[in-house]
Structure 1
């Protein structure tokens, strides 16, 4: 559940790794702020003459120190030096060839000045809980990836595409979570329960002939086949896909089949196939209607904006542009007023001319 969605998880934080990142933050304070009261107290009690990273956890250590010791995993530059020389073998083993060559060009100080602490996973070198958590997650992913490489698998790209396709499906979130459980063998069918607990029987209660796997429960059982034959989903060839769940997840009927199975398993009630299909279609129709209302709401706003723009344009088209010009005579006590009206095309519609006497 803590893995990324693209890697088959749900995107939740890994609480164990997050706790380690929080503990490491406290250790970072101990080494970068030695003048704090808590730093002085812990140093005096647990590592008075050593570094915090070389300290041991005594049997009578407090719960706080036992917890902090879990965040004291740190790599030091001094580990790469032997007899005032770079340990070439260890450097080339730890870093890639290009970085290792650059490290070997760095001169080693002979003054033995006390070094400073730098967090490599943050640009400013300062440790943060966020960067620490990301580093822990990356390390865990690399370990998992290494085990896959040792097993000889190379399906990361295909698996990522499968999960992306799942989350992009135009179905309800409840259906996506149901499919997610199926892909992780998370549905408590009889075969899964028996393989984990060795209790009960793995045989399907519906047909009594085969083990109740997820594929059998959703596709292969003869009671389920009756449902699929009545469903408005193409039946031909679906039995050939029964061993590859990732290829037939798009139908919404699986959730209703699962509900009917649970009703039979725990309430001992059989549900007619047409009732299951009717319920599945009803759920799908409700989802479609909800999407239509959502789309209709968006389209209504767009329509209102378009109508408003058309109305403004129409008002401009039906309106007239009035121009007024006045002129006063210097020789006579009169003033002339001229008014012209044109449409949006600039065509003259009307003209008025007035002469008024001024006092």
Structure 2
């Protein structure tokens, strides 16, 4: 039970018919046996520690953010301001963290890769966690649905969209390049990107990284097609699109070398 929000951590057991708090009370006292049969040990302790009224009054809704327990426009405005302030502080902390890391090898390696600026830009947005996935849009502009439009099975954060959505997983399985780091660091894009950059010193390592970014770009494009146009491309064409852009980039680079 979260003391600030009055919630319990215990999942509701199957066939549980409990609806109201008074069902857990018997003769003015907590029905300990019933509580233990439904809630976890930690939740039981917290529930039983709550003092019961000796007046035997009915349950009623109260507003915990004022001394009178009555909701008012003034207290509602104060709570909204507090939530907004905490949100802005969190965003500023994240931005500050990114700024402090801008001089690291991560940024230098990104800008030094021989690939199109649009590809660098999408990685840059992901590292700053500002690419407009549904979770970001909901937190910033109040977009109602933060679900992934490709699989409808999870919230669309950056890592879900690129690595763990069923749509993305199938693309990676079809792609000609594999990264074990997806499962090891896939829950944090920054760590994942930092880990695959270590491949740049291997033979053809930079080429593998650039191909990987092309796959990320194609996943983002296919996501947008599904999201805005409700159109799904076959997985083979998505991977082929990444391969084609990669080959074109390679050809351009070889041409520049030949000219020199």
TM-score by length of 1: 0.39
Match in the other structure for 2:171: 227
Q: Alpha-carbon deviations, 1:166-222, whole Å to 9, x = none?
A: 111232222111111111222211101111122221111111111001111111101
- Structure 1 residue 240 and structure 2 residue 184: aligned? yes
- Structure 1 residue 216 and structure 2 residue 178: aligned? no
- Structure 1 residue 296 and structure 2 residue 258: aligned? yes
Would the aligned equivalents of 2:219 and 2:238 in 1 still touch at CA under 8 Å?
Answer: yes
Q: 1:271 aligns with which of 221, 228, 233?
A: 233
Would the aligned equivalents of 1:229 and 1:235 in 2 still touch at CA under 8 Å?
Answer: no
Q: Alpha-carbon deviations, 1:14-50, whole Å to 9, x = none?
A: xxxxxxxxxxxxxxxxxxxxxxxxxxxxxxxxxxxxx
Deviation at 1:154, TM superposition (A): 11
Match in the other structure for 1:198: 142
Distance 1:176-1:154 versus aligned 2 partners, 3 A rule: closer
Aligned length: 149
Larger-Rg structure: 1
Would the aligned equivalents of 2:98 and 2:128 in 1 still touch at CA under 8 Å?
Answer: no
Match in the other structure for 1:175: 119
Distance 1:157-1:271 versus aligned 2 partners, 3 A rule: closer
Q: Which moved more, 1:256-265 or 1:241-250?
A: 241-250
Match in the other structure for 1:256: 218
Q: Alpha-carbon deviations, 1:122-160, whole Å to 9, x = none?
A: xxxxxxxxxxxxxxxxxxxxxxxxx97xx9x79936853
Superposition CA RMSD, Å: 2.4
Structure showing the higher strand proportion among its residues: 1
Structure showing the higher helix proportion among its residues: 2
User: 2:235, 2:136 → 1: CA distance?
Assistant: 25
TM-score by length of 2: 0.53
Gaps of 5+ in 2: 1-91, 197-208
User: 2:175, 2:227 → 1: CA distance?
Assistant: 23
